[in-house]
Amino acid sequence: KQEVTQIPAALSVPEGENLVLNCSFTDSAIYNLQWFRQDPGKGLTSLLLIQSSQREQTSGRLNASLDKSSGRSTLYIAASQPGDSATYLCAVRRRRDSGAGSYQLTFGKGTKLSVIP
Amino acid sequence: ETGVTQTPRHLVMGMTNKKSLKCEQHLGHNAMYWYKQSAKKPLELMFVYSLEERVENNSVPSRFSPECPNSSHLFLHLHTLQPEDSALYLCASSQDLPADTQYFGPGTRLTVL
């Protein structure tokens, strides 16, 4: 059974600092990995999607990397801003050839980020 | 604005009540999902519907009963719930199954007394 772990559970940094969020998964037979952002009172927003054949994806100040063999992904946020404060969730999707439920996402518990002005 | 709306946003109910959660997607998608997000636990998939047919029931107790009358609407009927069912219930939709991208609603915060 796939398990996804995110460390740390919470992180507080001063504005302008670069930071890294970590995600690890136990089963490397994944189809892709996504990073989501969740704001209080709102649903999840997809930030970056990395296919299993890719090593990284970038969007603005965000960079996500994937090392499938070691079961790890990182989300790098450059020059953090107070508006980046949210909970960041990592989710992996099973391989397509794994049959029923291959579209299921397995989520981590998230890292709650606070960026202090 | 995600295009997926959920009502009510907050719900408090007793263990003997019957209530329903509603989800509506305005994106023309064919697949819809119910997730449960409990405190201190990861987001868990409950049900998946594709073209109004249930394709996944992730070992969810029968006190949760989903209904998908059309591809734009999804309901979760609740009856005789337990306090441990208190959680944030999130609805999502995607173009088809399988899909790389799911669009999430804001959720319904449910408290069972």
pLDDT digits (tens, 9 = 90+) for B67-110: 999 999 999 999 999 999 999 999 999 998 777 788 999 999 99
Q: What is the pLDDT of residue A101?
A: 59
Residue (of B40, B33, B51, B28) closest to B89 by Cα position: B33
Query: Mean pLDDT throughout A17-38?
Result: 95
Structure tokens at B27: 């994106």
Q: What is the pLDDT of residue B56?
A: 77
Strand segments, DSSP code E, in B1-113 are 4-7, 10-13, 18-25, 31-37, 44-50, 53-57, 64-70, 73-79, 87-94, 103-104, 108-112
- Inspect the interface and report whether the beta carbons of A44 and B41 lie closer than 8 Å: no
* Phi (first) and psi of residue B79, to 5 degrees: -150, 145
Checking if the pLDDT of A71 tops 90, the result is yes
pLDDT band at B2 (very low <50, low <70, confident <90, very high): low
- Tokens 């460390």: give the residue: A7
Q: What is the pLDDT of residue A103?
A: 67
Cα dihedral: A108, B54, B23, A92 (round 10) = 20
B68 touches chain A (CB under 8 A): no
Q: What is the pLDDT of residue B97?
A: 79
- Look over chain B and give the mean of its residue pLDDT values, rounded to a whole number: 91
Task: Chain B: give the shortest CA distance to residue A109, in Å.
Answer: 4
List alpha helices for A28-81, DSSP H. Answer: none
Structure tokens at A73: 């992904």
Share of chain B above pLDDT 90, in %: 77
Give the CA angle between residues A17, A106, B40 to the nearest 5°.
65
Structure tokens at B33: 């999902």
Checking if the pLDDT of B9 tops 70, the result is yes
pLDDT digits (tens, 9 = 90+) for B23-33: 999 999 999 99
pLDDT band at A92 (very low <50, low <70, confident <90, very high): very high
User: Do B21 and B73 form a contact (C-beta atoms < 8 A)?
Assistant: no
Q: What is the pLDDT of residue A102?
A: 60
Share of chain A above pLDDT 90, in %: 80
Query: Mean pLDDT throughout B59-66?
Result: 93
Give the A-side interface with B, CB within 8 Å.
4, 32, 34, 41-46, 49, 89, 91, 93, 96, 100-110
Q: Which residues contact A53 (CB under 8 A, 6 or more apart)?
A: none
B98/B41: higher pLDDT = B41
What are the chain A neighbours of B98 within 8 Å (beta carbons)?
Answer: 93, 96, 102-103
Residue type (1 letter), B112: V
Share of chain A above pLDDT 70, in %: 92
Residue A12's beta-bridge partner residues? A114
Q: What is the pLDDT of residue B75?
A: 97
What are the chain A neighbours of B9 within 8 Å (beta carbons)?
Answer: 41
Give the CA angle between residues B111, B7, A87 to the nearest 5°.
65
